[in-house]
Structure 1
Amino acid sequence: MFILFCFTAFMNLVWGCAMMPKKLLIEDLSRSFKEGDIINTKTGAPVSFEELIADLNMAKVIYIGEKHTDSAHHKIQLRVIKGLIDAHPELIVGMEAFDHSYQKILDMWSAGRLDEKGFLERTHWYANWKFDFELYRDILAFIKERHIALIGLNIPFHIPPKIAVGGIESLSGDEKKHLPKRIDTTNADHRAYVEEIFKKHKVRGRESFEHFYMVQCVWEETMAESIALYLKKRSMIVVLAGNGHIIRKFGIPDRAFGRTGACFKTLLLAPAGSKAELSFADYIWVTPPIKKHNMGHVESGKMKAQSHHPVPGSPA
């Protein structure tokens, strides 16, 4: 089963007794940006929401990050979806929150054939994802209202914990059928990024970094494979996933690009009071500071946000 802590992205968060600063520092620029700013990292300058949407409209895959427990992030995700749908009425939404074994249930939701209670029960929302449904309610209600195709990107949730403990060889034959066709573990920068997290979040019984790293790669390759499969059927897919799967593009985005060759854009949502780098994403949107009771893990390196995944400390 899942447990509750995992990161969203590397960003320095400094917490103390004093009031948190209200700006996001872009370290490459030695410049701070206020809440609500949308930074085009190619130019280092803020853009309007309309300019953001105009650029995103040119891509085939749009990745919008999130800290799973931050309601402001989900409001932005919905705003972007609404901004894109007029130009792309056939767009689909892929979510990390669902695994692909629930696809028939997701199809029923998009078709308006399930009420909320039935949806929560049949997707086992609180057994799998566990986050308060209120955080995602408006997004999912809009998907249902507009009959937007909703895609479960993830691998069945019981599989990653088994890999974390015993590796892929510990999986049953049926479980192995859910694995992506290819799993690339050769990206040195990605490995170093995940290893730094692993060193700070070791948990008894999960001492093997190789297993830990394999979990991360299986996650991201599975979601990339799901994106590639459904992109063949539609002109655009909007991906909602944790910042840690999107940051620097070496998680899901590059893996999906290797399968599709389709143009993509990444939008990272970063709280005021933190630090970021231009390389984090194509766009960085400065969101309200994280409330202290909702902050999750914080480390001395980059931001650690509360998330929910089967392996403690794993990127989300």
Structure 2
Amino acid sequence: MRRIIFLFIGLFCVCAAAAQASDVCVPTGRWLEPASGKTVAHAEMIARMAKRPVVLLGETHDNKEHHSWQLHVIAAMHAQNPNMVLAFESFPRRFQPVLDKWTRGDLTEEAFLKEVEWNDIWRFDAGLYMGLFDFARIHRVPMVAMNIDRKLIARIAGEGWKAIAEGEREGLSDPAPADESYLDFLSTVFGMHDKGKPESATASEHDKADKIKALPVPEMRNNPMFLRFVESQVLWDRAMAQKIAEVRFRGGAPLVVGIVGQGHIQYGFGIPHQLADLGLPGAAVLLPWDDGQECSDLKPIKNHQVADAVFGLAAPDKTRKPDRPKLGVYIEDAAGGVLINKMVDKSIAETSGLMKDDLIMTAAGEPVAKVGQLVEIVSRQAPGTWLPLTVKRGDETIEIIARFPPRQ
């Protein structure tokens, strides 16, 4: 069942990416309501949102512009309604005590990222999110870990929800079933498939992963793997919705702002659907709209609008500091090291001689027992440097040098 498991993280930030288009349907720096097709002044939009019980801000996880937009929206709403809580997809619930320490100012950035096992669990560049985390710390805005443990997601995918004992469900209740429109949506998502995770788990690398064409919907509905995927996805949505509802209802009626991948909230599917079932309707969905995104993506699916409002973003500045170094491999924890499941074409790993099924045992002379350790070591590599790796290939142990090109 591993095929299903690895569809999850990062998958729903990929599904929102669209082809380039010449038409400008959402002006840069402006809000647009898809339902009416009209633009809305920024002050008016923020005033509306500050009065909502829940506002869900979508993102593509590795897009810097999206996170900058989220921060500006949060700051503007906070100015009008400081009774706010920030809920993050990026943290499993077990790290709530760490988030509490961070917002109290008890942890350094390094200690915080280490205690939440950032490189092992979320893996995206922490710098993309630190502005949000720092805002919460500076303004003492509570942060909530709304995700569930990846092992539980894997178990649901592999065994099914009914097979999970009551005491092992992390308090999850039975979800509202997906409607027909969401099933259609998920059938297209299910058509994307890659095995393993890139060392950074970025959406851009997922975009380059091998894809298989989705089966026609009637045929897909009879596919056992698809049905298990739907069950896992709906429960994942339920978990995050349940945590949001818990925060909203426990007293004080705070404005709960969810920071989450777009695929969990588009068209009112996913989290908003589960929130309504939990007695919390009216969650607002706000999405960033990238320059060049197809105008046809604004069209509703049946009676479901893509969002309450979208905000036009210009193309990102190409002169900004590049992303952290990447080997270009899809990896997972394994006995004795980190196993390469897949290679990215023309990557540093490929040109250095690494191969699929290689087991990386050490990097820069340090043992690597977990994915996060390798991610951390690779992220420290400066342009133009070499990284020695000890690799087990079959019965043979070999030394490989990964050469990082100089900055252009």
TM range (shorter): 0.7 to 0.9
Structural mapping, 1:1-316, within 5 Å: 5-8=10-13, 13-14=18-19, 20-21=20-21, 24=24, 32-169=25-162, 171=164, 174-176=167-169, 178=170, 180-201=172-193, 208-232=225-249, 233=251, 234-275=253-294, 276-278=297-299, 279-289=305-315
Answer whether contact 2:16 2:263 (CA < 8 A) is retained: no
Deviation digits for residues 202-237 of structure 1 (CA, Å, limit 9, x no counterpart)? 769x97112111110111000010011000233210
State the distance in 1 between where 2:165 and 2:281 align: 34
Deviation string, structure 1 residues 291-313 (Cα, Å, up to 9, x no partner): 9999xxxxxxxxxxxxxxxxxxx
One-letter code aligned to 2:309: Y
Q: CA deviation at 1:49?
A: 1.7
Return the alpha-carbon distance in structure 1 between the equivalents of residues 23 and 148 of structure 2: 36
Q: Which amino acid aligns with 2:244?
A: I
Which deviates more from structure 2 when the two are superposed, residues 215-224 or residues 182-191?
182-191
CA distance in 2, matches of 1:12, 1:121: 31
Question: Identical aligned pairs, as a percentage?
Answer: 24
Question: How far has the Cα of 1:290 moved from its partner?
Answer: 7.0
Q: Distance in 2 between matches of 1:155 and 1:65?
A: 19
Task: State the distance in 1 between where 2:21 and 2:181 align.
Answer: 30
The secondary structure found in structure 2 opposite 1:8 is helix
Q: 2: distance between equivalents of 1:90 and 1:152?
A: 18
Which structure: larger Rg?
A: 2
Aligned-partner residue type, residue 225 of structure 1: Q
Q: Using a 3 Å threshold, how does the CA distance of structure 1 residues 104 and 219 change in structure 2: closer, same or farther?
A: same
Are the aligned partners of 2:289 and 2:311 in contact in 1 as well (CA < 8 Å)? yes
Deviation, 1:187, is 1.4
TM-score, with structure 2 as normaliser: 0.63
Cα–Cα, structure 1 residues 12 and 80, in superposed 2: closer, same or farther, change >3 Å?
closer
TM-score (norm 1): 0.80
Q: Please tell me the residue identity of whatever aligns with 1:237.
A: V
Q: 1:262 Cα shift?
A: 4.6
Alpha-carbon distance change, 186 to 142 in structure 1, aligned in 2, over 3 angstroms: closer
Instruction: From the superposition, tell whether residues 10 and 45 of structure 1 become closer, same or farther in structure 2 (CA, over 3 Å).
Output: farther
Shift of 1:200: 3.8
Question: Partner amino acid for 1:93?
Answer: L
Which residue type is aligned with residue 227 of structure 2?
E
Which amino acid in 2 is paired with 1:81?
I
Structure 2's unaligned 5+ residue stretches are 197-222, 300-304, 324-408
Q: 1: CA distance between counterparts of 2:17 and 2:120?
A: 32
**What is the distance in 1 between the residues matched to 2:110 and 2:236?**
28
Looking at structure 2, the residues matched to 180 and 290 of structure 1 have their Cα atoms a distance apart, in angstroms, of 39
Taking the aligned partners of 1:226 and 1:285, their CA distance within structure 2 comes to 26
Q: Distance in 1 between matches of 2:234 and 2:11?
A: 15
Equivalent pairs counted in the alignment come to 280
Maintained 8 Å contact 2:21/2:292? yes
Distance in 1, Cα, partners of 2:308 & 2:75 = 20
Using the alignment, how far apart are the partners of 1:126 and 1:43 within structure 2?
42
Note closer, same or farther for the CA distance 1:186–1:280 as it changes in structure 2 (3 Å cut): closer
The gaps in structure 1 that reach 5 residues or longer are 15-19, 25-31, 295-316
